[in-house]
Structure 1
C-alpha cells in the first residue's frame, strides 16, 4: 500500500497593514514570526499546497494593497521555508499589474524554487504538467479561475491565466484526458477559484463546476475565492467515481477583517493506493486544522498573528464584537459535519 498526506490551505493575500508590520530594519520583509503556525501545518504534509492569491512581483514593481495586490518577494521565500511544495496562482488578482506583474511574480517564484500552477510564462510552460511524486504515488495538479472581475490576460496570451469561461469546463476535461494519457498520474488534484465572496455555503455555480470537473476525472477539488470556510462533500459522478470537494478553504493568511474572514484552515487528506495492480486510489481521513488571524487593534504585538484556533480561548475579539470561541467552533463543526460526517475539525 502507498499513501501520501496532502495538505492544502486557503488564500494567502497580504494587505499593506500586514506587510508594513513585517518590514525589518534592513528594509526587507520577514513573515516567519507572524505566520509561525504555518510551518508545522505545512510540514505535516508529504505534499503541501498554498493558494497564493497575491502577486509576489515585489518592490521592483511597487507593493500594492486592496484593490490590486502585489506582495513582497519574501512572502514566497517564507512559504518555501515553511514546507510549501506548490502554489496555485490563478485568481482574480493574477493580472492586477498586467502581463509585466504576472511574469515578474512567476520569475520570483522560480528564483525561490516554488512550483506554481494556474498562471504561466508561456504556452510551453502552461502545457507542462505539474507532477509531484512522493511515497510511490504520482500526484498531478491543475488550477483554474472562474472569476477574473475583468482582469483578463491579453488576447493570445491565455497562458498567463487559466480560466473557466461561463462555467464551461470542456478545456479542463481535455487537459485531464491529456494528463492521464501522457503522465498516468495516480491522483488528479484541481484547484478552482470560484463562487461569490463571503457566503458560508457554496452557490449553485460552484456545485455545477465541481460536478463537471469531477466528471472530467478529478479525484480532489480544492475551492478558493469566497474568503470564508465552506463545507466539503463527496461527489459521485457519471463514471461512478467518487471525488472529494471542499468548496472554499477561506483565508489562510490575510488582512481581511470579520469573524469568518479571519478563520481559515489547513486541510489534510490521505491519498491511498492499495496496490500497483489497481488504478484506483482512495481519498480518506479528511481533517481541517482551524486557524485564526488576530486583527484586533488591542492585540498589540499579536496584531495580525496567525494562530491555531484553539489558542483563541475562551473569546475571540474582533473589531465587530467579541465571540465565544466554543460557540463558533460548534457552528463550524455542524456546518462541516452536516455535509460530511467524517470530517474532523481541530
Structure 2
C-alpha cells in the first residue's frame, strides 16, 4: 500500500494593511514571520496546494488593495519557501489588472518555479496538465471560478481564466476526461471558486456545482470564495464513487476583519493506494487565526495556530470565547462529516 498526505489551504489575499507593515530595511517585503505557522502546516503534507487569490504582479504594476488586489512578488516566494507545491489562481480577482496583470503574475510564479493552475498564459499552457507524483501516487490538479463579478477574460483569451459560466460544468467534465485519458492519474483534485461571501454553510449553487463535478469524475473538490469556513461532506455520484468536498476553506492569510473571516485552516487528507484502488481517509482541519486587532507589537496581523491563542478572541466586533467558537466550528463540521477531526 502507498499513501500520500494532501494539505490544502484557503485564500491568501493581502490587504494594504498587511503589506504596508511588511517591508524590511532593504526595501523587500517579507511575510515569513507573520505567516510562520504556515511552514509547519504546509510541510506536514507530501503535497500542498494553496489558493492564491491575489495577483502577485508586484510593484512594477503598482500594489493595490480592495477592491482590486495586486500583492508583492515576495508573497509567492514566501509560500514557495514554506513548501507550497502548487497554487490555484482562478478567482474573481484574477483579472483585476486586466491581461497585463494576469500575465505578469504568472511570469512571477514561473520565475520562482511555482506551479499554478486556473489562470494561464496561453492555450498551450492551459492544456498542459498539472500533476504531482509522490510515493507512487499521482495527483492531477484543476481549478475554475464560477464567480468573476464582471472581471472576465477577453473573449478570445479564455485561457487567462478557467470559468464555470452559469453553473455549467461541461468544460470541467471535458478537462477531467482529457486528464484521465492523457495522464491516467490516481486522483483528480478540482479547486472551485464558488458560492456567496460569508455564509457559514454552502448555498444551493455550490452543492449543485460540486455534485456535477463529482459526477464528472473528481475525487476531491476544494472550495473557495466565501472567506469563511464551510463544512465538508462525501458525495456519492452516479458512477458509484465517493467524492470528498469541502465547500470553503475560508481565509488562510488575509487582512479581512470579522471573527469567522479571521479563522481559517489547513485541510489534511490521506490518499491510500492498494493495487489500483484509491481510498481517501483521515480528513482533518488544523484551525488557524489571523490576529487583526492588535494595533502595535509583534503579533499585528500574524497568522497563529488556533491552539496558540488566548482563551478569548478580541476583534473589532468584541470579545469571543475561543473554546465556544471552536466548539461551534467543530459541531458544524461534524454534523456533515462525523469522522472529520478539528484541531
Decide: shared fold, TM above 0.5.
Answer: yes
1:49-107, CA deviations, whole angstroms, 9 ceiling, x for partnerless residues?
Answer: 00000000000000000000000000000000000000000000000000000000000
Partner of 1:202: 202
Q: Deviations over 1:100-159 (max 9, x none)?
A: 000000000000110000000000000000000000011000000000000000111000
- The equivalent of 1:24 in structure 2 is 24
Instruction: Give runs of ≥4 in structure 1 deviating > 6 Å.
Output: none
What corresponds to 1:325 in structure 2? 322
The residue aligned with 1:143 is 143
Residues 173-226 of structure 1, C-alpha deviations (whole Å, 9 max, x = no match):
111111101100000000000000000000000000000000000000000000
| CA distance, structure 2, for counterparts of residue 221 and residue 58 of structure 1 | 30
Deviation at 1:312, TM superposition (A): 1.4
Return the offset for 1:297. 3.1
Give, in whole Å, the separation in 1 of the partners of 2:203 and 2:96: 25
Q: TM-score, normalised by structure 1?
A: 0.98
Q: CA deviation at 1:258?
A: 0.1
Deviations 1:198-255 (A, max 9, x none): 0000000000000000000000000000000000000000110000000000000000
1:15 alignment counterpart: 15
- Does the alignment pair 1:161 with 2:198? no
- TM-score of the superposition, structure 2-length normalised? 0.99
Alignment partner, residue 233 of structure 1: 233
- How big is each residue's C-alpha offset from its partner over 1:254-303, in whole Å with a ceiling of 9 and x where there is no partner? 0000000000000000011112xx2x311100010000000113453211
1:36-55 aligned within 5 A? 36-55=36-55
Match of 1:296 in 2: 293
Structure 2 gap segments, 5+ residues each: none
- Corresponding residue for residue 305 of structure 1: 302
Coordinate RMSD, CA, aligned: 0.6
Distance 1:140 1:299 in 2: 43
2:278 to 277, 281, 284: 281
- Counterpart for residue 66 of structure 1: 66
Asked if 1:343 is matched to 2:314, the reply is: no
CA distance in 1: counterparts of 2:85 and 2:222, whole angstroms: 16
Contact 2:58 2:73 in 1 (8 A): yes
Structure 1 portions without partners, runs of 5+: none
Q: Secondary structure at the match of 1:297?
A: coil
Count of residue correspondences: 343
In 2, Cα distance between equivalents of 1:298 and 1:163:
39
Q: Aligned-pair distance for 1:311?
A: 1.1
How far has the Cα of 1:27 moved from its partner? 1.0
Contact kept? 2:251, 2:264, Cα under 8 Å: yes
Secondary structure at the aligned position of 2:298 is classed as helix
| More moved, 19-28 vs 77-86 | 19-28
